[in-house]
Amino acid sequence: MKNERILKASKQQHQLSEVVLSLKRQKRQRYFFLFYMALPGLLLYTIFRFIPTVLGLVISLFNWRGTSMHMTYAGLQNYKTLLNDPIFWKAAGNHLYIFLINTAVVFTFAILLAALLSSKRLRERGFYRVLFFFPSVVPAVIINVLWMSVLNPNIGLLNGLLRLIGLEGKSWLGDRTLVKNTIIFVMAWKSTGFYMVLFMAAILNIPTSIFESARIDGAGNIRQTFMISIPLIWEHVRTSLLFFIVTSSGLGFNVIFMMTNGGPNRASEILTTYMYSVSFGGESRYGYGSAVAFAILVLTSLMALLIMAVTKREVYEY
């Protein structure tokens, strides 16, 4: 009897250890699976993002013309030059101005349009969705050429319309007091539709019962938008903001590079166009250009952290 109990206990222990082993095996398999799943992405990230970033940082410590592998070690000299370079600070100021205002404009309009076009009472909402989303699928180069033609001071559509109603045409891209806001307009026109669609999807996921209850309680459309839609999609807005901040430098570069090349007199120069002009624009100062690139990395990261901290709210579940 005693032997039987011992045998049973030993059998149970053996079964238990087998279960533990099996669990461990499953866990290991799961880790391997996750590793293999992440591997292509990790490889891509390492080869095309991480290594170039580290190389850029190394190059920023050298003076390099880019014509051969001849480099001279400069230590932190490029960073010292950067801190005393008035054009860098002007570009940094323009960069912040354009991206902060552009972010505010894009997200305000995207949220409001998403709320408006999510309404089932608006029968033409499908048409408007396509209309507003359209600029997001048109290649940036075509958009830039299109707007350069619309904004041309002599033969442009905009000045033509202004003259038609008796107003004086403006040099939209050639006047330093106008150029930054003109560029913000073009960038916002390109981006708003994309974020509008993201927010519409989020709003349409909110159960209609919540809106119906609010309506019964007497809440109008505006109140429903500000008290229900926006709070409930806030996490989507934050994620989109982060994505927008990280990607908008690239969009800003191609708009400004094509439309104004940073001019007139650096009035629309941003850090990315400045980085390009000192590196590839004839000056061939690759070490200094890399220092500017590193400053962009720091600035973008700080902006992302700041905006994520400022926009942190309680998450509502539904």
Partner 1 sequence: MKKQKRSARHFGLKALLLLLSLVMLFASLSACQAPADTGGTTVEGDKDSYAGRKLDVLFMVGGQGQMADPILAKLEEVLPGLETTIVYDHKAADILRRRVMADDPPDIFDVNSGFYDYYAAISEGVCKPLDFLYDVPCVDDPSKTLGDILAFPMMTFGFVDGKHYCMSDSIFTSGLWYDANMFKEKGYAVPETWDEFYALGEKAKADGKYLLSYSTRSAAEYFYQYWFNPLLTTLSLEAFGKTQNPAADSWSDPAVRKALELTKDLVDKGYVETMSGTLVITELQMQFCNGNILFYPCGSWLEAEMGDNWPDGFDLTYLPFPTQKKGEASYLHVTGVVSAVSAKTKNEDLVKEYYRYMLSNKETMEKVIGITMNGLPVKDFSTNFGSLLPSSTASSWAAIDSGRVIGYRAMAPSFYPSLGPVINDKISGLTLEGTSVDEVIDALNGIYAQILADDSITKREYDLSSVMEALANYNATK
Contacts to partner 1 by CB under 8 A: 29, 32-33, 36-37, 39-40, 43-44, 47, 63, 65-70, 72, 87, 148, 152-155, 171, 173-176, 260-261, 263-266, 277, 280-285
**Cβ nearer to partner 1, comparing 69 with 164:** 69
Crossing angle between the packed helical segments 234-259 and 179-204, to the nearest 10 degrees: 150
Read off φ and ψ for residue 73, nearest 5 degrees.
-65, 130
On whether the CB atoms of residues 279 and 285 are closer than 8 A, the answer is yes
Write down the number of H helices and E strands in the chain: 14, 2
**Cβ nearer to partner 1, comparing 46 with 301:** 46
**Cβ nearer to partner 1, comparing 137 with 155:** 155
CA distance 196 to 237: 10
Look up tokens 């590196």; give the residue: 279
Q: How far is the CB of 20 from partner 1 (least distance, A)?
A: 19
Closest CA to 293 of 139, 95, 113, 32: 95
CA distance 205 to 207: 6
Q: How far is the CB of 52 from partner 1 (least distance, A)?
A: 13
Show the tokens assigned to 106. Answer: 């894009």
Q: How far is the CB of 264 from partner 1 (least distance, A)?
A: 5
CA distance 187 to 109: 13
**Cβ nearer to partner 1, comparing 54 with 104:** 54
Q: How far is the CB of 16 from partner 1 (least distance, A)?
A: 21
From its phi and psi, is residue 157 left (phi > 0), alpha (psi between -120 and 50) or beta?
alpha
CA distance 265 to 236: 39
**Cβ nearer to partner 1, comparing 224 with 268:** 268
Q: How far is the CB of 115 from partner 1 (least distance, A)?
A: 39
Q: How far is the CB of 58 from partner 1 (least distance, A)?
A: 15
Look up tokens 């000299």; give the residue: 77
**Cβ nearer to partner 1, comparing 119 with 284:** 284
Q: How far is the CB of 314 from partner 1 (least distance, A)?
A: 40
**Strand pairing category for 71-73 and 62-64:** antiparallel
On whether the CB atoms of residues 254 and 141 are closer than 8 A, the answer is yes
**Cβ nearer to partner 1, comparing 14 with 70:** 70
